[in-house]
Structure 1
């Protein structure tokens, strides 16, 4: 489990909360901060609690994750206070991260003590949220390729379906199966087979845009969820993947290529319907001689 300690200079060392905050105030803060274990939601709640006591303009938790900035964009010439958080991970050595607070005006000594106390209160729920994120990542990541696994695919696909419901925005699915992969394991062993899977994962990531996602669905089968709006765009990505595999020295040395099936999400679809169409197109590609792409 991730543990946290605070360390700060004497001006910010935590004091007894009762010296500054009432019991009701402390309980209210704790109630809010323990109501969620999602990191981004926790950051937003903490910013709201800070604003109830202090003239805070922005809260920067970016050392704990992307897009973890709350409030207004940081400005020059405003008071900025950085308070440290010492992290201890699984018995390893400590490392120090910082939470940065920016205020619309200079804050008085009593307000600085309030900040110290709120910062100290925040540490434990922050640790729980980071641990939850780590465990969730383990549950949705394939450890060999570092792509999302089947659980990660299901979550990402559902997000896109929800987006379609809200905005009617289309997306696409490619199902990628490696040709001749079994012979790599049979002839060269599983270590070489693992290298083939890892290099395939790299090719997939390099072939899609940064906000799109690739997954190892299982064995030598991969999936890509793509922000496309027509069959031609889906076809373009499939061809890009196949060109990358044709030019990769390790894959070509083993004769490993890819058969790909694709489908666009349609109004009224479920995830199962979308996947079934793409999977059926994949088997048509296999039956058509491998190393081809078919769209459903």
Structure 2
């Protein structure tokens, strides 16, 4: 299951414990490394770890837009600046160790040799903690995965939507929710059996996963009900998903043979709305569409 996290880094408050991390030379002192490790070991949560790391980098070197990409998904942290220079590092740097991801720094000026050296030193501190955090994320993914369709389950949906609303509220980012219900799913089960019904669910989930962006998330709430969280999301995003969905269904012979179709409802989050209201608004549109079919 892929997850995407966008976090906003707002300022870097003065903190002597952090500002004293840089030694007088080009390398970090042992004391500075210990302080860094203490901050990096505060949490096993991937988002918290990378947020702490980005904060350390900002205070030791300078602020960057930071992007970490791995098999677990994408973490993106920005400070509202538009930067023109980009440097990407594979983690870990050693060819003897398997690659666990890549980290990219965007800034308004190129990295100096001294800054690059400091980043590499910080990566050496980050990687062991990053391995633990990624493993923890994998275990969490197993808990939050719908094992039939391989998308997020109801528990993961509840957590992800709440987090998405909090992020949108803080960063004034658009957010849309799309709800899907397979039409006449019970007759498919009754006529062709549950194994074929399961394959319908798997095919539909695979299509939803295929047509969304890396920043979006797909879930199965139960039965034949699915949900997409689009972040950022607006009417244009919803329209594009709808168009892609129709095309993919038409190009999936297994589904077309069954005259497969699905109803859809959607809602755009408004400031102050909670997860329940957002879902209810999308669900109302879903049932209006089903009633008109």
TM above 0.5, yes or no, is yes
Q: In 2 relative to 1, CA 166–120 (structure 1 residues): closer, same or farther, beyond 3 Å?
A: closer
Specify the alignment match of 1:31 in structure 2. Answer: 38
Structure 2 stretches of 5 or more lacking a match?
A: 1-27, 78-84, 104-110
Q: Superposed, which structure 2 residues align to 1:260-279 within 5 Å?
A: 260-279=264-283
Specify the alignment match of 2:292 in structure 1. Answer: 288
Specify the alignment match of 2:80 in structure 1. Answer: none
Residues 230-256 of structure 1: per-residue CA shift (max 9 Å, x gap): 4x7635643542454345321122232
Q: Is 1:185–2:189 an aligned residue pair?
A: yes
**Secondary structure of 2:271's match?**
coil
Q: In 2 relative to 1, CA 254–48 (structure 1 residues): closer, same or farther, beyond 3 Å?
A: closer
Q: Superposed, which structure 2 residues align to 1:133-212 within 5 Å?
A: 133-212=137-216
Q: In 2 relative to 1, CA 154–61 (structure 1 residues): closer, same or farther, beyond 3 Å?
A: closer
The structural deviation recorded for 1:33 is 2.9
Structure 1 stretches of 5 or more lacking a match?
A: 1-19, 76-80, 87-94, 290-296
| Cα distance in 2 for residues equivalent to 1:212 and 1:146 | 15
Specify the alignment match of 2:94 in structure 1. Answer: 83
Q: Is 1:221–2:225 an aligned residue pair?
A: yes
Residues 173-196 of structure 1: per-residue CA shift (max 9 Å, x gap): 221100122233333333322221
| Cα distance in 2 for residues equivalent to 1:126 and 1:30 | 12
Q: Is 1:256–2:260 an aligned residue pair?
A: yes
Specify the alignment match of 2:3 in structure 1. Answer: none
Query: How well do the aligned residues superpose, as a CA RMSD in angstroms?
Result: 4.6
Residues 74-107 of structure 1: per-residue CA shift (max 9 Å, x gap): 49xxxxx933665xxxxxxxx576999xx9559x
Q: How many residues align?
A: 248
| Cα distance in 1 for residues equivalent to 2:290 and 2:33 | 63
Contact 2:219 2:226 in 1 (8 A): yes
Which structure has the larger Rg? Answer: 1
| Cα distance in 2 for residues equivalent to 1:25 and 1:238 | 52
Contact 1:179 1:259 in 2 (8 A): yes
| Cα distance in 1 for residues equivalent to 2:32 and 2:268 | 52
Contact 2:100 2:131 in 1 (8 A): no
Task: State the TM-score, normalizing by the size of structure 2.
Answer: 0.62
| Cα distance in 2 for residues equivalent to 1:236 and 1:40 | 29
**Secondary structure of 1:83's match?**
coil
The structural deviation recorded for 1:134 is 0.8
| Cα distance in 2 for residues equivalent to 1:122 and 1:167 | 27
Q: In 2 relative to 1, CA 217–228 (structure 1 residues): closer, same or farther, beyond 3 Å?
A: same
